[in-house]
Structure 1
Amino acid sequence: MNFKVSSSALYSRLTLASKVLASKNVLPILDCFLFDVKDGAVTVTASDGDKYFITQVPVIEHDGEARFCISAKTIMDSIKELAEQPLSLGFNPETMGVVGQHSSGTFSLSGMDAAVYPLPVPPEEGCTTITLPAKVMLEGIGRCLFATANDQVRMAMNGIYMDIQPDCLVFASTDSRKLVKSTNTTIKSGIKAGIIIHKKVAAILKAVMSKDDEDISLSFDSQRAVMRADGFTLHFRLIEARYPNYNAVIPTDNPYKVELDRLALMGALKRTSVFCSQSTGMITLELANNTLRLKGSTDDFGSSAEEYLTCQYTQQPISVNFSCHFLLEIVSILECESVTLELAADVSRPGLIHPTVEDERDKVLMLLMPMKRGQ
């Protein structure tokens, strides 16, 4: 059986599919792509045993149907340097051999039996399904991914929580030191549910999705989910755990507030971070008399730096310590001209950072725990 595809179209889809592959697999077959040629397209499946990425490439022509597995690394290395051109692939089911032919040469490699390739288990019949714009999903993941944890005990914190309410959709993540809450009120699903998407799955979605994509469909039960988007389908397991009550830790009465130019603050943090302690990464923020002073120092080497930003602040002087790295991450992710920093009278309580001018339909709130000297 022979079929012909665009070399660049095939390589681009294989590149996306390869993002789910593990560096080490228990089953050797999972080092392969599953090719299924029929109905004018070749369907490519990649998996690490828990996640299954499925995508299609239109075929220019084919003279039959075939299912076979082929080494992911070998086929990608074989075609990645090809200029855009028709690529002919032939499969012999008796020898399991695959032969490729392009304008300047040929290559051959061994295939494997598709019958031994594991297939995804879809969510149970009667599962919950919601539809939302790809842009909403991508923005929620992009805002929350950095705040997920690496926790071997509290597994729920290793993912992003999708809190589906009848009149809104909330994305939340926390590692106990920082927290993100992103609320979109344009999504009115009419249902109440919640799922935890592992951060590895979220990272794959962030890499393969585009804000220009159309609506996506997300179906899930208590254990599994499947996302269908423009150009791919992703099956994955959910984190089966109870997510902590993220609203309970968000303060509602931080009295000290200051508005800051986001780019100016980001630049000051980057410059000061060079002089922050390598062990703690702590930076001190001091607010007084319409000025924000940022101070970083390394006790071991005696080096230090200070930055001053003009702002409108006439309340009681206050000083608080944060992780410079975490604060810089938060400020970098927020897409706005200015941010508002809200601090508590008790500097051991968390600070809040959010855009000064907020879209009522799409709000984002970042929480950051302060640091103590010697922490």
Structure 2
Amino acid sequence: MKFVVSSTELLSHLSAISKVISSKSTMPILDNFLFQLSETELTITASDLESTLITSLELDNIEGEGAVAVPAKLITDTLKEFPEQPLTFQIDGESYLVEIYSDNGKFSIMGQNAEDFPEQPQLDEEGASSIDVSHVVLQKGIEKTLFATADDELRPVMNGIYVELTPDFMSFVASDAHKLVRYRRLDAKAEFESSFILPKKPASLLKNLLPKEEFDVKLEFDDKNAFFTLSNYKLISRLVEGNYPTYNSVIPTNNPNKMIIDRLNFFNTVKRVSVFSNQASNLVKLTISDNQLVVSAQDIDFSISAVERINCEYEGEEIEIGFKSTFLQEILTNISTSDVKVEMSDPTRAGLLLPAENEEDEDMLMLLMPMMINV
């Protein structure tokens, strides 16, 4: 087998899919890329059994067909040292020796039998659902929710993004029991009702691939796997098994106390004041009344405290509520509007943080559980 490929083009594809490879793999073959050569293209696969990422390059100079597994770290490190130039790969199908010829030299790598590489999962055609989703919708849905997923070994369903498809909207939901994010798109709809839980790692891989995408993404899924087909890449992810909690029941509906405030001002104030909070709890206290917000924190152990005031628009009774500052900052970072609306009922119930004005076809809601204030 023989083919010629641009060094930088090959490196860019390998770098994108190499993020799948796990450093703790129990199968040595998974430390390799699977190179498959057909008449017109080179297909490269990387996998950690849970997620599989496949990319393909159209090539002109191809002789022969076949497959070989190539050590991922060695080939990537080698390509990083080349300036842009054509490289000729010559592969012996029996000994799995891979020889790379550059303008000035020759590099030999020992490959492995491609048959040892695990087969990729296949879609169960009978029980599968399929939909074309805008790459922008998918990218924003993942970006807005990924930060709120949990790391909970006892409840694996919380460690992913819950994707919900209905004839009216598409929802992305994530929660770690302290904060919850629901990002809903009214311009992405399905003709059916269905849902699945996408694990954190493949969601993160998609987040890196989607900014370069220009076309709709074909999304297919069955009971076990989801398949995302992009222009140059295909991601196959094993889904999290189990039922996602009924998240709508925890969203408080009657919130008479409403504040609208400049998001950046609010964020910077919380960041400054939180330096003075107790390091174990990270508690900041919000006191709101008469169109003024007072943000305060203290650490009694070190006799330090901080108070800062900001103007806001406020409707409702005076309220004192405590939040974990790190969570509050994360949420404020992930709301993109200049003003943010905070809705509360009382200090023991979750507060809602929303964009002051949702963009067209978007409906975003972030919920944060309060902390007890020790008076």
TM-score band by shorter chain is over 0.9
Quote how far apart the aligned CAs of 1:111 are: 0.5
The answer for unaligned runs of 5 or more in structure 2 is: none
Q: How many residues align?
A: 373
Quote the residue 2:357 is aligned against.
357
**1:373 Cα offset (Å):** 3.5
Superposed CA deviations along residues 288-307 of structure 1, whole A, max 9, x for unmatched, are 22211111222221222222
Q: How big is the shift at 1:92? A: 1.2
Confirm whether residue 193 of structure 1 aligns to residue 227 of structure 2.
no
CA RMSD, aligned part only?
A: 1.4
Displacement of 1:273: 2.4
Quote the residue 2:366 is aligned against.
366
Q: Which amino acid aligns with 1:10?
A: L
1:233 aligns with 2:234: yes
Q: Decide whether the 8 Å contact of 1:122 with 1:226 is kept in 2.
A: no
Q: How does 1:200-215 map to 2 (within 5 A)?
A: 200-210=201-211, 212-215=213-216
- SS of residue paired to 2:141: helix
The answer to which of 69-78 and 217-226 deviates more is 217-226
The CA deviation at 1:212 is 4.6
Matches within 5 A, 1:117-136: 117-126=117-126, 127-136=128-137
- Alpha-carbon displacement from aligned partner over 1:205-237 (angstroms, at most 9, x marks no partner): 112221653100111111111111121001111
Does the CA-based 8 Å contact 1:11-1:76 persist in structure 2? yes
Question: Which amino acid counterpart does residue 248 of structure 2 have in structure 1?
Answer: N
| Corresponding residue number in structure 2 for 1:180 | 181
**Conserved? CA contact 1:138–1:211, under 8 Å:** no
1:227-306 equivalences in 2 (<5 Å):
227-306=228-307
TM alignment of 1:132-171, pairs within 5 A: 132-171=133-172
Q: Secondary structure at the match of 1:248?
A: helix
Match of 1:63 in 2: 63
**In 1: Cα distance, 2:35 partner to 2:70 partner:** 8
| Partner in structure 2 of residue 348 of structure 1 | 348
Decide which moves more: 230-239 or 302-311: 302-311
Note if 1:334 corresponds to 2:349: no
Paired residues of 2:213 and 2:230 also in contact (CA < 8 A): no
Rate the CA distance shift 1:291–1:211 in 2: closer, same or farther, 3 A. farther
Q: CA deviation at 1:316?
A: 2.0
Deviations 1:64-118 (A, max 9, x none): 2231001000000111121111111111123211111223432111000111111
SS of 1:269 mapped into structure 2: helix
TM-score, with structure 2 as normaliser: 0.96
Deviation at 1:60, TM superposition (A): 4.3
CA spacing shift, 1:314–1:210, aligned 2, 3 Å: closer
In the TM superposition, 1:78-97 aligns within 5 A as: 78-97=78-97
State how far apart, in whole Å, the 2-side matches of 1:43 and 1:78 are: 19
Distance 1:352 1:99, change over 3 A: same
- Structure 1 unaligned segments of length 5 or more: list them: none
TM-score (norm 1): 0.96
Letter of the 1:355 counterpart:
P
**Contact 2:39 / 2:62 at 8 angstroms: preserved in 1?**
no
What is the aligned-residue identity percentage? 37
Question: What pairs up with 1:69-80 in 2 under 5 angstroms?
Answer: 69-80=69-80
